[in-house]
Amino acid sequence: MELFQWLALALVVMLGPMILIHELGHFLTARRAGARVLEFGLGFPPRLLTLFREEGTIEVDGQRMLLPGSVRLPPGLAPGQDVEVRLEPGPESLPRVAEIRRAAVSEQEPAPPAPWRRGRLTALELGTIYSLNLLPLGGFVRMLGEEDPSHPQSLAARPKRWRLVVLLSGALFNILVAFLLMIAAYATGVPTRAFVQIQEVVPDSPAEKAGLLPGDIVTAVNGDRLEEGSTELREWIRSSPGEPLELTVLREKEFLTLTATPVLTDGRGFLGIGLQDWPDPASAERYSLPRATIAAGKSMAVVVLSILNLPRMVSSGQVSAAEAVRPVGIPGILGFLGYALKQSMEAGIPFMALQVTALISLAVGMTNLLPLPALDGGRALFVLIEAIRGRRISPETEAKVHMAGMVILIGISLVIITMDIVNPIIPWSWLSR
In this predicted model, what pLDDT tens digit does every residue of 86-133 receive, in sequence order?
988 766 677 888 999 988 766 566 777 777 888 899 998 889 999 988
C-alpha distances (whole Å) from 337 to each of 220, 264, 306, 404, 431 are 28, 37, 21, 31, 11
The pLDDT value given to residue 432: 77
The pLDDT value given to residue 15: 86
Confidence of residue 21 (pLDDT cuts 50, 70, 90): very high
Confidence of residue 321 (pLDDT cuts 50, 70, 90): low
SS (H, E, C) 160-177: HHHHHHHHHHHHHHHHHH
SS (H, E, C) the chain: CHHHHHHHHHHHHHHHHHHHHHHHHHHHHHHHHCCCEEEEEEEEEEEEEEEEECCEEEEECCEEEEECCCCCCCCCCCCCCEEEEEEECCHHHCCEEEEEEECCCCCCCCCCCCCEEEEEEEEEECCCEEEEEEEEEEEEEEECCCCCCCCCCCHHHCCHHHHHHHHHHHHHHHHHHHHHHHHHHHHHCEECCEEEEEEEECCCCHHHHHCCCCCCEEEEECCEECCECHHHHHHHHHCCCCCCEEEEEEECCEEEEEEECCEEECCEEECCEEEEEEECHHHEECCCHHHHHHHHHHHHHHHHHHHHCHHHHHHCCCCCHHHHCCCCCHHHHHHHHHHHHHHHHHHCCCHHHHHHHHHHHHHHHHHHCCCCCCCHHHHHHHHHHHHHHCCCCCHHHHHHHHHHHHHHHHHHHHHHHHHHHHCCCCCHHHHCC
Residue 1 has pLDDT above 70, yes or no: no
Confidence of residue 322 (pLDDT cuts 50, 70, 90): low
When pLDDT is averaged across residues 351-376 and rounded to a whole number, the result is: 92
Residue 60 has pLDDT above 60, yes or no: yes
DSSP 8-state class, residue 211: T
When pLDDT is averaged across residues 28-52 and rounded to a whole number, the result is: 90
Confidence of residue 176 (pLDDT cuts 50, 70, 90): very high
The pLDDT value given to residue 311: 77
DSSP 8-state class, residue 350: T
| Pairwise CA distance, residues 128 & 23, whole Å | 14
CATH of domain 194-279: 2.30.42.10
How crowded is the C-beta side of 190, counted as CA atoms within 13 Å?
A: 15
In this predicted model, what pLDDT tens digit does every residue of 371-388 receive, in sequence order?
988 889 999 999 999 999
Closest CA to 337 of 325, 362, 355, 364: 355
Helices and strands: H and E segment counts in the chain: 12, 17
Residue 211 contacts residue 198 (beta carbons within 8 Å): no
Partner residues linked to 255 by β-bridges: 250
C-alpha distances (whole Å) from 402 to each of 26, 140, 273, 377, 396 are 18, 17, 48, 11, 10
Helix-helix angle 351-368:160-188, to 10 degrees: 160
When pLDDT is averaged across residues 306-316 and rounded to a whole number, the result is: 78
Confidence of residue 149 (pLDDT cuts 50, 70, 90): confident
| Pairwise CA distance, residues 249 & 260, whole Å | 12
The pLDDT value given to residue 413: 84
Average pLDDT, the chain: 88
Residues 6+ apart with CB under 8 A from 389: none
Confidence of residue 353 (pLDDT cuts 50, 70, 90): very high
Residue 172 has pLDDT above 60, yes or no: yes
| Pairwise CA distance, residues 310 & 323, whole Å | 10
In this predicted model, what pLDDT tens digit does every residue of 272-284 receive, in sequence order?
999 999 999 899 9
* Amino acid identity for residue 298 in this structure: K
Residue 304 has pLDDT above 60, yes or no: yes
What are the residue ranges spanned by the domains of the chain?
1-34+151-190+286-433, 194-279
The pLDDT value given to residue 308: 82
| Pairwise CA distance, residues 351 & 191, whole Å | 8
Residue 37 has pLDDT above 80, yes or no: yes
The pLDDT value given to residue 325: 63
When pLDDT is averaged across residues 414-420 and rounded to a whole number, the result is: 87
Residue 229 has pLDDT above 60, yes or no: yes
The pLDDT value given to residue 91: 66
Closest CA to 156 of 36, 22, 24: 36
Residue 154 has pLDDT above 90, yes or no: no
To 10 degrees, the CA torsion angle through 321, 325, 326, 329? Answer: 180
The pLDDT value given to residue 383: 92
State the CB neighbour count (10 A cutoff) for residue 319.
Answer: 17
